[in-house]
Structure 1
Amino acid sequence: MKVICVAGYKNSGKTTLVTRLVEALSEHGKVGTVKQMLHHRFNPENTDTGKHFDAGADLVAAITDTELVTIKRNPSLEDALNSLADNGADFAIVEGAKSSDLPKIFLGEPEGSDEVSNILVKLPVKSDWDIAAIVELMHDQPEWVTLDSLIMKVRSNPDLCLSGGIATFTGIVRRINDNVETTAIDFEKYEGVADRAIEKICFDMKQKDNIIDVLIHHKTGLIKSGEDIVYIVVAAAHRQELFQTLADTLEHIKEDVPIWKKEYTIEGDFWVHDKL
């Protein structure tokens, strides 16, 4: 899923630009949007869902003839984007969130007191924007990947009819290692080379008998203990090949992909010499 943020100040035309982008991107795939509404409530206290929520429900699903809305506690922008990816969105447009690290289209000029990062392009407010150019910019953004989005991609493979199962592996940051507590790990990859190595592993694994599909996603940057590092999804005709290929794929990632890690522990920080 490609993600971009449309940011700016009040009455700058953010919603207009988002709607135009939705219309244009809908010709290229499935589009999701996120709107930050920090001072609103979707389920007021006088509604049934509001009463459920105020009674202590952690999740409330509201269903109408045309809509499904899930209301949860402790929301985050990451949760919203993960939900869109999990539901098969090819593109996600976030309206607002100018303080986030997401790649941004900024309408107007940031004020001096605001620290706005990752601005890809600044556009005039309420203008006749070049939507085609923005769509092209959207296609250039990195992928936002979740495990469910990879599984959905495997399920869309026309050869899945030959598969008897899908297996996944999720690697996470181990919190306790040799009785030492790890708080986070910072992963760095050899740009370009690491991606090509992952593509080769997927290709090689799919040459094995009865293997239908293999997908890998390895995250980079600072990942906290307990959080996900790597996803592997394998579809195969039979369980024997399925589990063996899953294990083989993980070993090839560890051996062949140039990704290095710096480990942060309560006893100090250090670079791990192994690639993974």
Structure 2
Amino acid sequence: MKVICVAGYKNSGKTTLVTRLVDALSKKGSTGTVKQMLHHRFNPENTDTGKHFDAGADVVAAITDSELVTIKRNPTLEDSLNALADSGVEFAIVEGAKSSDLPKIFLGDVEGSDDISNIIVQLPVRSEWDIDALVELVLDQPEWVTLDSLIRKVRSNPDIRLSGGIATFTGIVRRINGDVETTAIDFEKYEGVADRAIEKICFDLKQEDNIIDVLIHHRTGLIRSGEDIVYIVVAAAHRQELFETLTEALERIKDDVPIWKKEFTIEGDFWVHDKL
């Protein structure tokens, strides 16, 4: 899923630009939006869903003839984007969230704020924007990937009809390793080379008998203990090849992909010199 944030101050034309981008991107694939609405409430206390929520429900789903709304506690921007990716959305536009680290189209002047980062293009407010150019900018953004989005992609493979199963592996940051407690790991990759190495692993494994599809995604940057590092999804005709290929994919990631890690522990931090 490609993600872009449209940010700016009040009355800068954010909603107008978002709707124009939605109109253009929806012609290329499924499109979703996220709107930060601070100090608003979707389910007021005098509604049935509000009463459910106030009684202590952690998640409330409201269904009409044409809409489904899910209300949950402790919401985050990451949660909303993961939900869009899990549902199969190909393009996500976030309106607002100017303090996030998402790639941004910013409308107007930044006004000297230090908490606005990752502006990839700055545009005049309420203008005749070049939507085609902005669509190309969105297409150039990195993929936002979840495990469910990879599984959905494998299921969309026309050859899935030959598959008898889908298996997945999720690698996470181990918090306790012997007597050492890890708080986070910072992953760095050899740009371009690492991605090509992963593509080659997937290509090679798909040449094996009865292997329908293989997808791999490895996150980079700072990942905290308990959070996901790597996803592997394999579809195969039979379970024997399925699990053998899943294991082979993991070993080849460790051996062939130039990704390095700096480990942060309660006793200090250090670079792990071997590849994963």
Relative to the length of structure 2, the TM-score reads 0.99
CA distance in 1, matches of 2:86, 2:166: 16
Shift of 1:29: 0.2
- Sequence identity percentage: 85
For structure 1, list consecutive stretches of 5 or more residues without a partner in the other structure.
none
Residue type of the partner of 1:165?
G
Aligned position for 1:140: 140
Residue type of the partner of 2:179?
N
CA distance in 1, matches of 2:93, 2:136: 14
Aligned position for 2:123: 123
Residue type of the partner of 2:68?
L
Alignment of 1:225-240 (within 5 A): 225-240=225-240
CA distance in 1, matches of 2:127, 2:203: 46
CA distance in 2, matches of 1:176, 1:122: 44
Aligned position for 2:11: 11
Alignment of 1:240-259 (within 5 A): 240-259=240-259
Residue type of the partner of 1:201?
I
Residue type of the partner of 2:210?
N
Residue type of the partner of 1:40?
H
Aligned position for 1:194: 194
Aligned position for 2:92: 92
Residue type of the partner of 2:61?
A
Shift of 1:248: 0.4
Instruction: Note the alpha carbon deviations across 1:191-228, whole angstroms, 9 max, x for none.
Output: 00000000000000001000000000000000000000
Instruction: Note the alpha carbon deviations across 1:81-100, whole angstroms, 9 max, x for none.
Output: 00000000000000000000
Shift of 1:273: 1.5
CA distance in 1, matches of 2:196, 2:136: 23
Shift of 1:26: 0.6
1:73 aligned onto 2:73: yes
CA distance in 2, matches of 1:73, 1:39: 14
Instruction: Note the alpha carbon deviations across 1:228-272, whole angstroms, 9 max, x for none.
Output: 000000000000000000000000000000000000000110111
Aligned position for 2:208: 208
Residue type of the partner of 2:223?
I
For structure 2, list consecutive stretches of 5 or more residues without a partner in the other structure.
none
Shift of 1:114: 4.5
Instruction: Note the alpha carbon deviations across 1:24-44, whole angstroms, 9 max, x for none.
Output: 001100000000001100000
Shift of 1:113: 3.5
Residue type of the partner of 1:160?
I
Aligned position for 2:220: 220
Instruction: Note the alpha carbon deviations across 1:41-80, whole angstroms, 9 max, x for none.
Output: 0000000000000000000000000000110000000000
Aligned position for 2:62: 62
- Aligned to 1:102, the other structure's residue is in SS state coil
Relative to the length of structure 1, the TM-score reads 0.99
CA distance in 1, matches of 2:204, 2:274: 23
1:267 aligned onto 2:274: no
Instruction: Note the alpha carbon deviations across 1:129-177, whole angstroms, 9 max, x for none.
Output: 0000000000000000000000000000000000000000000000001
